[in-house]
Amino acid sequence: MRYSKLFGKTIREIPKDIYLTSHQLLYKAGFIRELVAGRYFVTNLGYRVINKIVKVIDEEMEMIGSQRVMTPTLHPLSLWQATHRDEAFGESLMKVKDRRGSEFVIGATHEAAMTEFVKKFQPTFKDLPIIVHQFSSKFRDEVRARGGLIRLREFLMKDAYSFAADDKQFMETYWDQYNAYLKIAQRLGIKVQPVEADAGALGGDFSHEFMALTEKGEDTFVTCTNCDYAANTEKAQGILEDKNSQEKEMPLEEIEAKRGLNMEEMALFYKVPLWRLLKTIIFMVQGKSVAICIRGDLEINEIKLGHILKTADFRIPEPEEIKKLGTVRGFVSPLNLKVDCFLIDKSVLSVKNLITGANKLNVDYKNFNYPRDLKNAQIVDIALVNNEFKCQKCQKGNLKLKRAIEFGHTFKYDDFYSKALDAYFTNKDGQQKLLLMGAYGIGIERAMAIIVEQNNDERGIIWPKSVSPFDVQLISIEHSTKCIVHSEEVYKELQKNDIEVLYDDREEVSAGAKFADADLIGIPVRLVVSERAGDKIEWKNRDKKETELLNLKEVIKKLSL
C-alpha cells in the first residue's frame, strides 16, 4: 500500500476531550473517526488490525473445537422476555418495531438466539458438546460512551457459546475457553489477569473476567499478595482486621455535634479515624426502605447489594422520603429509624463504641454497639473491598486493588437459558434433558484499544507483530530519481515475497515528518532507503533505538523469520 493512496492520514491536532492514550493515538494515526458518540468509522489501517485480531481469536476457537456460525442481529423481543433479560438490560437494550408491528431487540448479546439455533437441530447426546462462535455486531445503548473504543454503543464481538450434557462435560468446555483466552491475550500482546467475576445482567453464578492492566482503566480488581486469589472488585470478598472489638462497651450517649455532613468532616470533628464512625445509608427498593450500616471507612458494593435485594432496581431516597423516615441527611442513624429493613455489614462487628448520627440535625450518639443497640438486623457481606482487606482464600496475604480494562468475560449459566427456552437434548436413554450452557465474549475494537494502551511510547503506537496493520513501513527519504527507483524496487520485491508493506512514497514530505508518522502509526519494522545508504537498506525496530544496514536479501530473510 502506498501511503499517498491510503485513505485516512495522520494528523497532529486532535479534539481536546480525547483523554485516553489509545483513543488519542488511534485518532492521530488515522485508524478511527467518530460518527456519533459510541459509533466509530474504522479506516483500512484499523481494519487490518481488527482483521488480524479476528484471525487470532478464530484460530484459537477452532483449536478448541468451536464452529464458526452466523446469527441474526434482530431478535424477537419474546426471546428476551423468556428469561427477563429485557428487564435486566433495561434501557441499554435497543428495541424496534417492524412495519407489521412485531417487536424486536437489536442484539446486545446472543445467548437466547443461540439457544434457539441449537434447538432447531434437536441435538442428541452424540452431538454434544456443541461449541459455536461468531463475530457479530452488538448494540448497547450505554449511558456514557467512553474512552474511544473502550465503551462503544455498537461494536464487533467474538461471542462463543457451549452446550453440554452434564456439568463435567460443560466444565471442560468452560476451561477450554478460559485457557484459549489466556493464549489469545498472549498472542495479541495483551497482559491479562483472569479474576473471579460477577455475571451481572447476563445471568449465571460462575464467571471470570480477563482483566488487562492499564493505568486509566475503568474497571478495578484485587489480587492477593500471598496466594493466587484474584477477583473483580464487585465480586471480591476479603477479611477485615479487627479494630477494637475487645474494647469494653460504653453506655450510649447523645451529644451535640455542629459538624459537616460527610464522613471525612465527621472524623475531623471528633479527631478519630474513619473506622470509628458508623455509616448508615438508606435505599428505596421497589417502594420499601432499607437501611444499610457499614464501617465509616468502607463503601457499599452495589452489585452485592443487588444480589441481596434480588433486584437492581434500587435508588437513594428523595428529600421528602428522608423526612418521612424520621431522619436528617448527614445524621442518619439506625437508632429509632423507621425503615422497613436493616442490613448490617459484617465490618461493623470489628468495632466497638462507634459514633453515629441521631436522626436529628447537629446531634450524634457516642458508643453505638452492635447487637446491643440494634435488633432485627441481618448481617451481610456488602462492603466494596479495598487495600485494607486481607485475602479470604489464604487468610494471610493482603488484597491489592488494581485498575484495568476488561478484555474478555466467560460465563457459566447451567440451565438458566435452556429452562426458560425449553432447550433439550436426547440422552442415551432417549429422555429429554435440559442443555447446560456457557458464553464467552471478547470485544474486538476494545481489544485493539487495549493493545495500544499497553504498547505505546511518547512517539506513538508500538504494534505487536501479530496484529500490526503492515509487516513493515518503507520510507523513501530523498526525492532524487536514484532514491525513488531504489525504493520502488524494494517495494515491489517485498510485495513479491508476500510481505505487507506500507510504503511512504510522498514526495512533498520531509524525512523528519515521515519518521514521525511511522513512529505514530507504530508498524514494528521501519525500512529506510536513502542516497547515503546506497544499495543497503536501513532497518529499525519500532521499539529499539539502534539501526542496522542490510541488503534486500537480508531484509526479506529477517522479515520471514
- Give the separation between CA 307 and CA 165, rounded to whole angstroms: 28
* 226, 397 Cβ separation under 8 angstroms: yes
SS3 label, residue 311: coil
Query: Which residues between 380 and 399 bind a copy of itself (CB under 8 A)?
Result: none
| Segment lying near a copy of itself (by CB under 8 A), choices 118-126, 191-199, 291-299, 510-518 | 118-126
Lay out the site mask for a copy of itself across 121-140 (x = CB under 8 A, - = otherwise).
Answer: x----xx--x-x----x-x-
Number of residues that bind a copy of itself (CB under 8 A): 58
- Give the separation between CA 471 and CA 482, rounded to whole angstroms: 25
CB of 509 to a copy of itself, least distance (A): 11
- Give the separation between CA 37 and CA 146, rounded to whole angstroms: 8
- Give the separation between CA 40 and CA 28, rounded to whole angstroms: 14
Nearer to a copy of itself, 72 or 326 (CB): 72
CB of 473 to a copy of itself, least distance (A): 17
Residue 360 identity (one-letter amino acid): K
| Segment lying near a copy of itself (by CB under 8 A), choices 70-78, 164-172, 361-369, 541-549 | 70-78
Residue 317 DSSP label: P
Which position among 20, 23, 25, 40 is part of the footprint of a copy of itself (CB under 8 A)? Answer: 40
CB of 458 to a copy of itself, least distance (A): 25
Q: Does position 427 bind a copy of itself by CB under 8 A?
A: no
CB of 319 to a copy of itself, least distance (A): 26
Cell numbers linked to 230: 484474584
E strands present in 169-299: 192-196, 206-213, 219-224, 230-232, 238-240, 253-256, 278-285, 288-295
CB of 453 to a copy of itself, least distance (A): 20
- Give the separation between CA 368 and CA 278, rounded to whole angstroms: 8
- Give the separation between CA 435 and CA 419, rounded to whole angstroms: 8
Largest CA distance in the chain: 95
Which position among 4, 395, 432, 480 is part of the footprint of a copy of itself (CB under 8 A)? Answer: 4
Cell numbers linked to 344: 448490617
Q: Does position 510 bind a copy of itself by CB under 8 A?
A: no
Q: Is 241 exposed, middle or buried (0-12, 13-18, 19+ CB in 10 A)?
A: exposed
Cell numbers linked to 116: 434457539
Which position among 23, 28, 52, 75 is part of the footprint of a copy of itself (CB under 8 A)? Answer: 75
Q: For residues 62-92, b (16+ Cβ closer than 10 Å) or e, as one string?
A: eebebeeeebeebbbbebbebbebbebbeee
DSSP 502-542: EEE--SSS-HHHHHHHHHHHT-SEEEEE-TTTTT-EEEEET
Q: Does position 491 bind a copy of itself by CB under 8 A?
A: no
Nearest C-alpha neighbor of 240 from the set 193, 302, 294: 294
Which position among 20, 21, 23, 43 is part of the footprint of a copy of itself (CB under 8 A)? Answer: 43
- Give the separation between CA 443 and CA 159, rounded to whole angstroms: 9
Q: Does position 407 bind a copy of itself by CB under 8 A?
A: no
Which position among 15, 17, 70, 271 is part of the footprint of a copy of itself (CB under 8 A)? Answer: 70
CB of 174 to a copy of itself, least distance (A): 18
Which position among 141, 299, 478, 488 is part of the footprint of a copy of itself (CB under 8 A)? Answer: 141
| Segment lying near a copy of itself (by CB under 8 A), choices 112-120, 208-216, 237-245, 478-486 | 112-120
Nearer to a copy of itself, 67 or 551 (CB): 67
Q: Find how far residue 230's CA is from the centre of its chain.
A: 15
Lay out the site mask for a copy of itself across 142-181 (x = CB under 8 A, - = otherwise).
Answer: -x---------xx-x-------------------------
Q: Does position 36 bind a copy of itself by CB under 8 A?
A: yes
CB of 74 to a copy of itself, least distance (A): 6
Query: Which residues between 7 and 26 bind a copy of itself (CB under 8 A)?
Result: 7-9
Query: Which residues between 512 and 551 bind a copy of itself (CB under 8 A)?
Result: none
CB of 430 to a copy of itself, least distance (A): 15
Phi and psi at 318, nearest 5°, equal -75, 160
CB of 387 to a copy of itself, least distance (A): 36
Cell numbers linked to 139: 448494540
Which position among 14, 19, 55, 65 is part of the footprint of a copy of itself (CB under 8 A)? Answer: 65
**Residues ≥6 apart with Cβ < 8 Å to 183:** 60
**H or E element in which residue 558 lies:** helix 552-559
Nearest C-alpha neighbor of 229 from the set 392, 99, 102: 392
Grid cell 485493539 is found at: 448
Which position among 73, 193, 427, 497 is part of the footprint of a copy of itself (CB under 8 A)? Answer: 73
Residue 109 identity (one-letter amino acid): T
CB of 193 to a copy of itself, least distance (A): 30
Nearer to a copy of itself, 328 or 474 (CB): 474
Helical axes 21-28 vs 444-454, angle rounded to 10°: 100
Contact set with a copy of itself (CB under 8 A): 1, 4-9, 30, 33, 35-36, 39-44, 46-47, 50-51, 65, 67-76, 91-92, 94-96, 98-99, 102, 106, 113, 116-118, 120-121, 126-127, 130, 132, 137, 139, 141, 143, 153-154, 156
